[in-house]
Structure formats: C-alpha cells, structure tokens
Amino acid sequence: MASTPPLLSVRGLRIEFGTDQGPATAVDDLSFDLRAGEVLGIVGESGSGKSVTALSIMGLLPTPPGRVVAGEILFEDSDLLKKSRTDMRKIRGGAISMIFQEPMTSLNPVFTIGDQLTEAVRWHERVGMAAARGRAIEMLHKVGISSPERRLEDYPHQLSGGMRQRVMIAMALSCGPKLLLADEPTTALDVTIQAQILDLLRQLQEEFRMAVIIITHNLGVVAEFADRVLVMYAGRTVEHASVEGVFDRPSHPYTEGLLSSIPDIEADVLRLTAIPGTLPNPHELPPGCRFQPRCTYARDECAAGPPPLVPVAQSHLAACIRHTGYRRGAAAPPAMAGVR
C-alpha cells in the first residue's frame, strides 16, 4: 500500500486570512497523502479549515483576503501552488474538480443545464458542440437523471435541489477527474436525498476509480463513504486514521466528542452529548492544544505547547498530550473512553 506514490500530497500547508485585526490562521501545518482511488474524509466544525483546504487545492482560495503562507500541494509530483494561472485553469475541472454545498445557488440561473454542462468539456477537450452534448447526456444518465435530452434545455430553477446536485456532480465528472473534492455535498439536501446522493457518489467513485476528498461535519457520511478520516480542529489535524481506527479507537478527545454527538437509535440514553463550548476565535487561539478549553481531560501541560501529531497505532495519528505523555513513559495512559 505504501509503495504506490500518492496522487495528492499536502505538506505543511498553512493558510492565513488577512482581517482588520491582523492575519488569522485558517489552516496550520496540515499534511496528508491521498492515493489514487482512495477516499479521504475531512471532518470538523464550520470554521475548522476544511473548505479553505479544498479551495486552496483548487487554486480558488479568495486572495485577498486568503493566502497560502507555507507548504506545498503536490499533485502527481508537481506543486499546484507554483503553477501558473493558465496551468491551474487547465487542471481545474479537468484532473481535479469540485462540487459544492449549495446546489441551489451553485448553478448559474440564466443559462440552461445543457449550456453549463457542455462548457467544461468544450473548454478542456476542445470538442465540438455535438460531442459535448453527447457527453452531457451520457453524464446526466450516469447521475440518474431521467430523459436527459429534455433536461438539457431546462434552467436550474426548474430542477429540485437533489436534481441540481446531480447536475453539479455530472458537471464535475464530465472531464474524468482523477481527484474529486466534495465540499459538504449533501448538507443542504433533504435527508432522503442525502442518502441517494451519497450512494451515487460512492458508485461513481468506484466506476471512475477516482480519489475523493469528502468534506463534512457528519461522521456518519464518513463512515459510509471514506477509507480514511482526517479530523480537523481550529485549522490543525487532531486525528488522522482509517475509518475503522477512528470509530473503534478514537484517540483525541475532540473525535470522541464528535462520535458521541452522533444520534444512536439503539442507545438507551436519549440525550445527545454535545461538545461544550465553541470553536475558538482565530485571533484568540488558546496556547498549546487548541481544544484544551473544551476538553474534559485538559491539564495544565496542555497549554505548554502544541501537542505533536504522533502515531498511536498502525497508520493512526493523533495530536493529544496524553499520547506523548504515554510515549515518554511519564505517566500511565488514561483509559481510552470507550464511546461505542
């Protein structure tokens, strides 16, 4: 597994946003690898830096105010951050494409579905209108839209939210991307539609054999879809492991909190456990571990410095002082709270 070179390798990525109160760090020293055909879930609350990470991979970070201040994003061994605007444009919608959270507003209201679907193919592959139209019909078919020929003439306002998200997916996949970034693709949809869209994405991922980064705040989505999970908190990775690893042996108090806030129908307890407190203000980040003000295990040492991301098991990284404490042999590990 480790012998295959990664398709995407993010190394030490640091993104800042210029604000009136000075620069605010949105993403801090983020690193991860993604192999071809692999599905990575990035999980965290709003404002934890998930979407910003995806936008920076696409080269769509709104600059200013956003700015990548350090790190590299290697895609097929070349740094996307060093590419020219023209080269980046050829990659966007081609080898890497993205779908967004809001299907209601992500399609242009004044152009037909057909127009918007054929556009990417015409620009990336320089094919004629007829060929592009054929591809659009094929893609609409693949995403489960009935009578696609007729739908091409429709405007976005004539479609439901679920249909629009299917169109967005068709659009993103029309040039056969190697990497798909899905930013909360189901959050804005009805629950029943969410499951359909997720099934569709999984099915298409297998069919196209593409790598997917799925960004979500919902661990349930990750459990269904992803191979690996990266949990972000206030711009930093707090835990990075396989889906099984995270669910069976959550090794960061924040992950534990996320897991216990998933509603469990079979549980006897009816109350949902919410993590107390809110994400820190990026201008007033707590010293040391950023989760420490909300953490039930917090000790004085937590404020001393940022806890390093250390292996706690095979391919399982976590950034909590409890693990480094254990590795140093200073104290016995506190019992892992079994959440499940």
Partner 1 sequence: MGRYIVARLIQSIPVLILVSVISFGIMKLVPGDPAILIGGPTATPAELDVIRANLGLDQPFHVQIWKFYIGLVQGDLGTSLLLGKPVLQATIERIPVSLSIAFYSMVLTLFFGIACGVVAALNRNSWADQGAMVFALLGVSIPNFWLGLMFIILFSVHLGWLPTGGYVPWQESFGGWFATATMPAVSLALLQIGLLARITRSTMLEVLKQDYIRTARAKGLPEFVVIGKHAFKNVMIPVITVIGIIFSVLLSGSLVIESVFSVPGVGSLLGSAVLRRDYPMIQGGLLLVAWSLLMLNILVDVLYAYFDPRVRYDHGS
Task: Compute the least distance from the CB of residue 235 to partner 1, in Å.
Answer: 21
Pick 78 or 158: Cβ nearer partner 1:
158
Q: Tell me which of 36, 60, 127, 223 binds partner 1, using CB under 8 A.
A: 60
Question: Does 92 participate in binding partner 1 (rule CB under 8 A)?
Answer: yes
Q: Which residues of 223-244 are buried (b: 16+ CB within 10 A; e: fewer)?
A: bbbbbbbbbbbbbbbbbbbbbe
Pick 92 or 178: Cβ nearer partner 1:
92
Q: Tell me which of 123, 208, 297, 326 binds partner 1, using CB under 8 A.
A: 123
Pick 44 or 93: Cβ nearer partner 1:
93
Question: Does 89 participate in binding partner 1 (rule CB under 8 A)?
Answer: yes
Considering CB under 8 A, how many residues would be counted as binding partner 1? Answer: 29
Q: Label each residue of the chain as H, E or C.
A: CCCCCCCEEEEEEEEEEEECCEEEEEEEEEEEEECCCCEEEEECCCCCCHHHHHHHHHCCCCCCCEEEEEEEEEECCEEHHHCCHHHHHHHECCCEEEECCCHHHHCCCCCCHHHHHHHHHHHHHCCCHHHHHHHHHHHHHHCCCCCHHHHCCCCHHHCCHHHHHHHHHHHHHCCCCCEEEEECCCCCCCHHHHHHHHHHHHHHHHHHCCEEEEEECCHHHHHHHCCEEEEEECCEEEEEEEHHHHHHCCCCHHHHHHHHCCCCCCCCCCCCCCCCCCCCCCCCCCCCCCCHHHCCCCCHHHHCCCCCCEEEECCEEECCHHHHHHHHCCCCCCCCCCCC
Footprint of partner 1 on 202-241 (CB under 8 A): none
CA 57, CA 74: separation in Å to the nearest integer? 9
Residue range at the interface with partner 1 (CB under 8 A); choices 35-43, 90-98, 195-203, 324-332: 90-98
Pick 214 or 229: Cβ nearer partner 1:
214
Task: Compute the least distance from the CB of residue 165 to partner 1, in Å.
Answer: 12
Task: Compute the least distance from the CB of residue 96 to partner 1, in Å.
Answer: 9
Footprint of partner 1 on 163-202 (CB under 8 A): 168, 171-172
Pick 96 or 229: Cβ nearer partner 1:
96
Question: Does 160 participate in binding partner 1 (rule CB under 8 A)?
Answer: no
Task: Compute the least distance from the CB of residue 147 to partner 1, in Å.
Answer: 15
Question: Does 102 participate in binding partner 1 (rule CB under 8 A)?
Answer: yes
Task: Compute the least distance from the CB of residue 48 to partner 1, in Å.
Answer: 20
Residue range at the interface with partner 1 (CB under 8 A); choices 97-105, 241-249, 280-288, 324-332: 97-105
Contacts to partner 1 by CB under 8 A: 58, 60, 89-94, 97-98, 100, 102, 105-111, 119-120, 123-124, 155, 157-158, 168, 171-172
